[in-house]
């Protein structure tokens, strides 16, 4: 069959309802069955806690120096970009939600990098400051101890001691 004839044939059967599955075209009667059989993607589990699929994914993909330092020095799991609520899509920069024994801890570490910026960028604008305040208030209302540090303080003895004091 010539390429032009093949294109015409494919155009014709497509108009008549045939669908391509892999490298084959199926007639409309079989196409309906294929459409019904498509597996549905399971809905993500969104809980705002350690069983939240988003938090599990963030923890799996991230191994920052701060996380390794705290885990090594203090023996607790640190979760990056932790979704702590189902009400809003707010994330904590770092969270220590539970002790090794599974008991609740709820320590949040927020890195305040935007405090040195000027203008309407990110966290230093009126809107950004208000959003950060709302996030902090929500976290505290849910029982989180909120520790705010600058980027330079993150990997410091001072920050480790503050976290240790809450353990």
Which tens digits make up the pLDDT trace of 67-116? 999 999 999 999 999 999 998 999 999 999 999 899 999 999 999 886 66
β-pair partners for 91: 83
Tens of pLDDT, residues 37-64: 566 778 889 999 999 999 999 999 788 9
Domain boundaries, the chain: 3-37, 53-166
Burial track 134-150 (b if 16+ CB lie within 10 A, e otherwise): ebbeebeeeebbebebe
| pLDDT given at position 115 | 64
- The top-level CATH class assigned to 53-166 is alpha beta
Separation between Cα atoms, residue 51 and residue 63, nearest integer Å: 19
Residue 84 Cα to chain centre, angstroms: 11
From the list 137, 134, 82, the residue with the least C-alpha distance to 108 is 82
Rounded Cα gap, residues 19 and 110, in angstroms: 51
Average pLDDT, the chain: 88
Q: From the centroid of its chain, how far is CA 134?
A: 19
CB atoms under 10 Å from CB of 107, counted, come to 21
């Amino acid at each position: 069959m010539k390429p032009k004839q093949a294109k015409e044939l494919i155009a014709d059967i497509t108009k008549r309802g045939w669908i391509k599955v892999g490298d084959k075209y199926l007639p409309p009667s079989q196409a309906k069955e294929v459409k019904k059989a498509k597996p549905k993607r399971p809905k993500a589990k969104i809980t705002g806690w350690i069983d939240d699929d988003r938090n599990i994914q963030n923890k799996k993909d991230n191994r920052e120096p701060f996380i390794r330092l705290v885990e090594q020095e203090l023996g607790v799991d640190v979760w990056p970009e932790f979704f702590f609520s189902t009400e809003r899509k707010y994330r904590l920069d770092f969270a220590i939600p539970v002790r090794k024994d599974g008991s609740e801890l709820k320590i949040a570490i927020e890195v305040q990098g935007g405090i040195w910026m000027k203008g309407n960028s990110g966290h230093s604008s009126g809107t950004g400051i208000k959003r950060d305040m709302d996030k902090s208030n929500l976290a505290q209302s849910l029982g989180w101890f909120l520790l705010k540090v600058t980027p330079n303080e993150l990997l410091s003895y001072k920050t480790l001691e503050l976290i240790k004091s809450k353990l």
